[in-house]
Structure 1
Amino acid sequence: MTEQEEQEIRQELVGLRQEHRDLDTAIAALVESGRADHLTIQRLKKRKLAIRDRIQHLEDRLVPDIIA
C-alpha cells in the first residue's frame, strides 16, 4: 500500500467516525424526544452498523497481516 492510499484511508476513517458519532447523537435525541417512529430509528441504526462495518474493513487494511 502506498503512502497516498494509506492517507486516503485515514481521511475516510476520520469522516466515517464523525458520521458514526453524529448518528449516535441523532438516535439518542430521537429516542429522548419520543417523536420519532420506530422505522426511522431502525434505519438510522442500520446505517450506523454499516458505517461501523466499513470502519472495521478500512482499519483491517491499515494493519499488516501478521502470521503467528
Structure 2
Amino acid sequence: MDTTQGRVSTTVSEALQRLEEQLGCQLALRGSRKFELTAPGQKVFEECSCHGRLQPRSPVPLAPSQSGNK
C-alpha cells in the first residue's frame, strides 16, 4: 500500500469512528480484508444517499492485488 492510500484509509477510519461515537452505535464491521455496514450503518448511508450527500459506487478493495504486479 502506498503512503497516500494509507493516509486516506486512516482519515476515513478516524472520521467513521468519530461519527459512531457521536451517534452512539457501530456503523460498520471492519477487518483487514472486510468492511460491512451494520443495520444502523445501512440506514445512515441510505438517508445520506437520499439527500445527495453520498453517491453509491462500486466496492473498493481494501488490500492491494496479490497478482504479483508491483
Higher helix share: 1
TM-score range, shorter chain: 0.3 to 0.5
Structure with the bigger RCO (C-alpha within 8 Å, sep 6+) is 1
Give TM-score, length-normalised by structure 1: 0.42
Give TM-score, length-normalised by structure 2: 0.41
Higher strand share: 2
